[in-house]
Protein backbone atom coordinates (compact mmCIF):
# COMPACT_ATOMS: atom_id res chain seq x y z
CA UNK A 1 0.00 0.00 0.00
CA UNK A 2 1.27 3.48 -0.84
CA UNK A 3 0.16 4.86 2.48
CA UNK A 4 -1.69 8.14 2.93
CA UNK A 5 -1.11 10.43 -0.03
CA UNK A 6 -1.28 14.20 0.23
CA UNK A 7 -0.99 16.85 -2.43
CA UNK A 8 0.53 19.24 -2.99
CA UNK A 9 3.60 18.73 -0.80
CA UNK A 10 4.34 22.43 -0.82
CA UNK A 11 2.04 25.37 -1.49
CA UNK A 12 2.94 29.03 -1.57
CA UNK A 13 0.12 31.48 -2.05
CA UNK A 14 -0.74 35.09 -1.47
CA UNK A 15 -3.03 36.32 1.23
CA UNK A 16 -6.66 36.26 0.13
CA UNK A 17 -6.29 33.37 -2.28
CA UNK A 18 -8.16 30.10 -1.99
CA UNK A 19 -6.09 27.06 -1.03
CA UNK A 20 -7.18 23.44 -1.45
CA UNK A 21 -5.28 20.59 0.16
CA UNK A 22 -5.97 17.03 -0.89
CA UNK A 23 -5.74 13.66 0.80
CA UNK A 24 -6.14 10.05 -0.29
CA UNK A 25 -6.44 7.74 2.73
CA UNK A 26 -5.27 4.15 2.91
CA UNK A 27 -7.72 1.89 1.11
CA UNK A 28 -10.21 0.29 3.48
CA UNK A 29 -9.70 2.76 6.30
CA UNK A 30 -12.91 4.20 7.71
CA UNK A 31 -11.54 7.20 9.62
CA UNK A 32 -9.86 10.27 8.19
CA UNK A 33 -8.26 13.08 10.20
CA UNK A 34 -6.91 16.52 9.32
CA UNK A 35 -4.23 18.05 11.58
CA UNK A 36 -2.27 21.29 11.53
CA UNK A 37 1.23 21.71 12.97
CA UNK A 38 2.98 24.94 13.87
CA UNK A 39 5.94 25.69 16.11
CA UNK A 40 3.76 27.72 18.46
CA UNK A 41 0.77 25.39 18.81
CA UNK A 42 2.19 21.98 18.00
CA UNK A 43 0.04 19.33 16.34
CA UNK A 44 -3.68 20.13 16.46
CA UNK A 45 -6.65 18.11 15.26
CA UNK A 46 -8.86 20.15 12.94
CA UNK A 47 -11.60 17.73 11.92
CA UNK A 48 -12.22 14.03 11.49
CA UNK A 49 -14.57 11.87 9.44
CA UNK A 50 -15.97 8.40 9.98
CA UNK A 51 -17.31 6.62 6.89
CA UNK A 52 -17.14 9.93 4.99
CA UNK A 53 -19.29 11.76 7.57
CA UNK A 54 -17.77 14.66 9.56
CA UNK A 55 -17.87 13.72 13.24
CA UNK A 56 -16.06 16.52 15.04
CA UNK A 57 -15.02 19.82 13.48
CA UNK A 58 -14.49 21.68 16.74
CA UNK A 59 -10.82 22.14 15.92
CA UNK A 60 -11.49 24.06 12.71
CA UNK A 61 -10.21 27.54 13.54
CA UNK A 62 -12.85 29.60 11.76
CA UNK A 63 -15.33 29.70 8.93
CA UNK A 64 -12.57 30.26 6.41
CA UNK A 65 -11.72 26.57 6.82
CA UNK A 66 -13.89 23.81 5.36
CA UNK A 67 -13.36 20.11 4.77
CA UNK A 68 -15.17 17.57 2.66
CA UNK A 69 -15.01 13.85 2.06
CA UNK A 70 -17.10 13.07 -1.04
CA UNK A 71 -16.07 9.41 -1.04
CA UNK A 72 -13.98 6.90 0.89
CA UNK A 73 -10.85 7.58 -1.12
CA UNK A 74 -10.66 11.37 -1.18
CA UNK A 75 -10.85 14.36 1.12
CA UNK A 76 -10.13 18.07 0.77
CA UNK A 77 -9.33 20.84 3.21
CA UNK A 78 -10.07 24.29 1.83
CA UNK A 79 -9.04 27.68 3.16
CA UNK A 80 -10.82 30.68 1.65
CA UNK A 81 -9.56 33.34 1.96
CA UNK A 82 -6.10 32.40 3.18
CA UNK A 83 -4.16 34.52 5.69
CA UNK A 84 -0.48 34.53 6.71
CA UNK A 85 -1.36 32.98 10.08
CA UNK A 86 -2.60 29.89 8.24
CA UNK A 87 0.99 29.07 7.33
CA UNK A 88 1.69 25.62 8.77
CA UNK A 89 2.18 21.98 7.86
CA UNK A 90 -1.14 20.23 7.33
CA UNK A 91 -1.29 16.49 7.87
CA UNK A 92 -3.91 14.01 6.83
CA UNK A 93 -4.17 10.68 8.65
CA UNK A 94 -6.37 7.62 8.30
CA UNK A 95 -7.17 4.65 10.49
CA UNK A 96 -9.21 1.48 10.60
CA UNK A 97 -11.80 1.48 13.38
CA UNK A 98 -10.08 4.48 14.96
CA UNK A 99 -7.11 2.59 16.36
CA UNK A 100 -3.62 3.33 14.98
CA UNK A 101 -3.52 6.42 12.81
CA UNK A 102 -1.32 6.49 9.72
CA UNK A 103 -0.15 9.93 8.70
CA UNK A 104 0.67 11.30 5.30
CA UNK A 105 3.82 13.30 4.51
CA UNK A 106 2.06 16.61 5.02
CA UNK A 107 1.53 19.76 2.96
CA UNK A 108 3.68 22.74 3.88
CA UNK A 109 1.56 25.85 3.32
CA UNK A 110 3.09 29.30 3.17
CA UNK A 111 0.77 32.30 2.85
CA UNK A 112 2.56 35.56 2.04
CA UNK B 1 -7.96 12.08 28.22
CA UNK B 2 -5.34 11.88 30.99
CA UNK B 3 -2.48 14.37 30.87
CA UNK B 4 1.03 13.06 30.20
CA UNK B 5 4.41 14.43 31.27
CA UNK B 6 7.57 13.73 29.29
CA UNK B 7 11.11 15.13 29.46
CA UNK B 8 11.75 17.81 26.89
CA UNK B 9 14.83 16.14 25.45
CA UNK B 10 17.09 13.11 25.84
CA UNK B 11 20.36 11.94 24.35
CA UNK B 12 21.38 8.41 23.46
CA UNK B 13 24.50 6.87 21.95
CA UNK B 14 24.05 4.88 18.78
CA UNK B 15 23.70 1.17 19.49
CA UNK B 16 22.62 1.69 23.08
CA UNK B 17 19.11 1.28 24.42
CA UNK B 18 16.98 4.42 24.55
CA UNK B 19 14.55 4.51 27.45
CA UNK B 20 11.91 7.21 27.15
CA UNK B 21 9.78 7.80 30.26
CA UNK B 22 6.21 9.07 30.45
CA UNK B 23 4.15 9.95 33.50
CA UNK B 24 0.37 9.62 33.34
CA UNK B 25 -0.63 9.57 37.00
CA UNK B 26 -4.29 10.41 36.31
CA UNK B 27 -4.84 7.59 33.85
CA UNK B 28 -8.22 5.86 34.01
CA UNK B 29 -8.90 2.15 33.78
CA UNK B 30 -10.19 2.35 30.23
CA UNK B 31 -7.32 4.43 28.84
CA UNK B 32 -4.56 3.00 26.68
CA UNK B 33 -1.01 4.32 26.45
CA UNK B 34 0.06 5.10 22.86
CA UNK B 35 3.47 6.09 21.54
CA UNK B 36 4.06 7.91 18.26
CA UNK B 37 7.19 9.52 16.90
CA UNK B 38 7.83 12.25 14.37
CA UNK B 39 11.03 12.33 12.41
CA UNK B 40 11.96 15.77 11.11
CA UNK B 41 9.84 16.88 8.15
CA UNK B 42 7.70 13.73 8.24
CA UNK B 43 4.28 12.89 9.57
CA UNK B 44 3.91 11.19 12.94
CA UNK B 45 4.41 7.43 12.96
CA UNK B 46 2.65 4.94 15.21
CA UNK B 47 5.05 2.88 17.36
CA UNK B 48 3.17 0.83 19.92
CA UNK B 49 0.33 0.89 22.42
CA UNK B 50 -0.76 -1.00 25.53
CA UNK B 51 -3.29 -1.15 28.35
CA UNK B 52 -1.54 -2.76 31.33
CA UNK B 53 0.67 -5.57 30.08
CA UNK B 54 4.09 -5.01 28.61
CA UNK B 55 4.10 -4.99 24.83
CA UNK B 56 6.78 -5.58 22.22
CA UNK B 57 6.85 -5.27 18.47
CA UNK B 58 9.50 -4.93 15.80
CA UNK B 59 10.08 -1.29 16.63
CA UNK B 60 10.07 -1.07 20.40
CA UNK B 61 8.97 -2.35 23.78
CA UNK B 62 6.48 -0.69 26.10
CA UNK B 63 6.78 -1.20 29.83
CA UNK B 64 3.80 -0.05 31.92
CA UNK B 65 4.10 0.05 35.71
CA UNK B 66 1.72 -2.07 37.75
CA UNK B 67 -0.21 0.98 38.96
CA UNK B 68 -0.28 2.24 35.34
CA UNK B 69 0.80 5.71 36.41
CA UNK B 70 3.91 5.68 34.25
CA UNK B 71 5.42 3.89 31.30
CA UNK B 72 8.71 3.58 29.43
CA UNK B 73 9.26 3.19 25.73
CA UNK B 74 12.40 1.21 24.97
CA UNK B 75 14.27 1.29 21.68
CA UNK B 76 16.67 -1.61 22.25
CA UNK B 77 19.44 -0.60 19.85
CA UNK B 78 19.03 3.04 18.88
CA UNK B 79 20.24 4.16 15.46
CA UNK B 80 20.75 7.63 14.04
CA UNK B 81 17.43 7.22 12.21
CA UNK B 82 15.65 7.02 15.56
CA UNK B 83 16.37 10.71 16.16
CA UNK B 84 12.86 12.14 16.42
CA UNK B 85 10.25 13.65 18.73
CA UNK B 86 8.50 10.90 20.69
CA UNK B 87 4.93 11.45 21.87
CA UNK B 88 3.28 9.58 24.72
CA UNK B 89 -0.51 9.80 24.46
CA UNK B 90 -3.19 8.41 26.73
CA UNK B 91 -6.45 7.67 25.03
CA UNK B 92 -9.83 6.29 26.07
CA UNK B 93 -10.69 2.89 24.68
CA UNK B 94 -12.65 3.25 21.47
CA UNK B 95 -12.15 6.99 21.33
CA UNK B 96 -10.86 7.93 17.95
CA UNK B 97 -8.82 11.08 18.32
CA UNK B 98 -5.27 11.69 19.53
CA UNK B 99 -4.13 14.72 21.53
CA UNK B 100 -0.44 15.42 20.98
CA UNK B 101 1.62 17.18 23.64
CA UNK B 102 5.14 18.51 23.19
CA UNK B 103 6.84 15.09 23.36
CA UNK B 104 10.49 14.22 23.98
CA UNK B 105 13.14 15.14 21.46
CA UNK B 106 15.48 12.13 21.29
CA UNK B 107 18.87 12.77 19.77
CA UNK B 108 20.88 9.68 18.86
CA UNK B 109 24.56 10.43 18.36
CA UNK B 110 27.41 8.37 16.85
Question: To probe the interface with A, which of B96, B100, B105 has the most A CB atoms within 10 Å?
Answer: B96
pLDDT digits (tens, 9 = 90+) for A54-106: 999 999 988 999 999 999 999 999 999 999 999 999 999 999 987 789 999 99
**Cα maximum dimension of chain B:** 41
Q: Residue B93's pLDDT is what?
A: 65
Q: What is the dihedral of CA A64, A12, B37, A101, to 10 degrees?
A: 50
Could you tell me if A49 lies within 8 Å of chain B, comparing CB atoms? no
The pLDDT confidence band at residue B79, using thresholds 50, 70 and 90, is very high
Contact (CB<8Å) A100/B49? yes
pLDDT > 90 in chain B, percent: 83
DSSP-derived 3-state class of residue B80: helix
Higher pLDDT, A67 or B31: A67
pLDDT digits (tens, 9 = 90+) for A10-47: 999 999 999 999 999 999 999 999 999 999 999 999 99
Contact (CB<8Å) B46/A106? no
Amino acid sequence: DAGVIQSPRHEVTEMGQEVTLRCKPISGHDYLFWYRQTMMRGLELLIYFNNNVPIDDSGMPEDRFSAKMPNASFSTLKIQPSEPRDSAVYFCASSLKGVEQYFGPGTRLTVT
Amino acid sequence: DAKTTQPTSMDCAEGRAANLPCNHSTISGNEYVYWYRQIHSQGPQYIIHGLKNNETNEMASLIITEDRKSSTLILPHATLRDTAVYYCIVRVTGYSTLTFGKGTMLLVSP
